[in-house]
């Protein structure tokens, strides 16, 4: 089927932020390829219950996302046959800021931070990227995968910055809007791309959801409605 048929489709993006990084020594790490801590089995049991089966899986090219995905599979989620590594979904490259002590970095700034990011959207880290640059490349990756996997569930294991960039795209706020959101480690953010033929738009289903807080007696994180009832029954 192609867009010319005018088919109605919903492509559901399930963004998962990687597990916590413990080996950063209090320093900014950006695209530094550090390990993450996947030892909290309760968290991964919750994620394994919450994420959709038969989804397309992708991750960034940084190993902390691969380790997080593997921990979800080890918790009982069926391992997908493939999980492409998408460099467009890597964390913001923070250039010369990477390796600096966070506390010292903020103390060196001439202004108080107004959000939980490193600088204004258009401030480019020396030798690196701005948050606006990050939004541009995440948007390119999303557009490419929306075209390739229209109407499917896509689980994307990524980073706080890249998930904020995806939110900015979905709400149409520009980069500054995405910087306002908090994205915790291992949280799930779902953004749906709704299309009819060549026309489409976004809706936000949930942001920063922590499914490990749902008891194991409750097998899903949301109640089905409409056509979803028939699929589950």
pTM above 0.85, yes or no: yes
Confidence (pLDDT) at 3: 44
Asked if 145 and 154 count as a contact pair (C-beta separation under 8 A), the reply is: yes
Per-residue pLDDT of the chain (233 residues; tens, 9 = 90+): 344 557 899 999 999 999 999 999 999 999 999 999 999 999 999 999 999 999 999 999 999 999 999 999 999 999 999 999 999 999 999 999 999 999 899 888 766 555 668 889 999 999 999 999 999 999 999 999 999 999 999 999 999 999 999 999 999 999 999 999 999 999 999 999 999 878 899 999 999 999 999 777 766 555 544 444 444 43
Could you tell me the sign of the dihedral formed by the alpha carbons of 167, 170, 171, 174, in that order?
positive
What's the token pair of residue 75? Answer: 């918790």
**CA dihedral sign, ordered 91, 60, 166, 199:** positive
Q: Which domains, from first to last, does the chain contain?
A: 3-232 (3.40.50.1240)
Which residues make Cβ contacts (< 8 Å) with residue 138, sequence separation at least 6? 88, 89, 162, 165, 166, 169
At 225 the pLDDT is 46
Q: What pLDDT score does 230 carry?
A: 45
DSSP 3-state assignment of 168?
A: helix
């Amino acid at each position: 089927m192609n867009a010319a048929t005018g088919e109605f489709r919903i492509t559901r993006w399930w963004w998962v932020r990687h597990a916590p990084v413990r080996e950063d020594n209090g320093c900014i790490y950006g695209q530094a390829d550090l390990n993450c801590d996947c030892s909290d089995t309760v968290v991964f049991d919750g994620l394994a219950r919450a994420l959709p089966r038969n989804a397309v899986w992708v991750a960034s090219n940084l190993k902390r996302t691969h380790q997080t995905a593997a921990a979800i599979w080890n918790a009982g989620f069926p391992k997908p046959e493939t999980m492409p590594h998408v460099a467009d979904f890597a964390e913001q490259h923070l250039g010369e800021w990477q390796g600096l002590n966070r506390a010292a970095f903020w103390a060196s700034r001439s202004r108080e931070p107004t959000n939980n990011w490193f600088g204004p959207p258009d401030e480019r880290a020396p030798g690196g990227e701005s948050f606006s640059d990050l939004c541009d490349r995440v948007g390119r990756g999303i557009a490419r995968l929306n075209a390739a996997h229209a109407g499917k569930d896509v689980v994307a294991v990524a980073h706080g910055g890249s998930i904020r960039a995806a939110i900015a795209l979905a709400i149409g706020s520009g980069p500054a809007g995405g910087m306002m959101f908090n994205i915790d480690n291992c949280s799930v953010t779902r953004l749906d791309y709704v299309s009819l033929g060549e026309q489409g738009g976004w809706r936000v289903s949930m942001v920063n959801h922590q499914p490990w807080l749902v008891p194991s007696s409750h097998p899903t994180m949301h109640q089905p409605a409409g056509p979803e009832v028939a699929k589950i029954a």
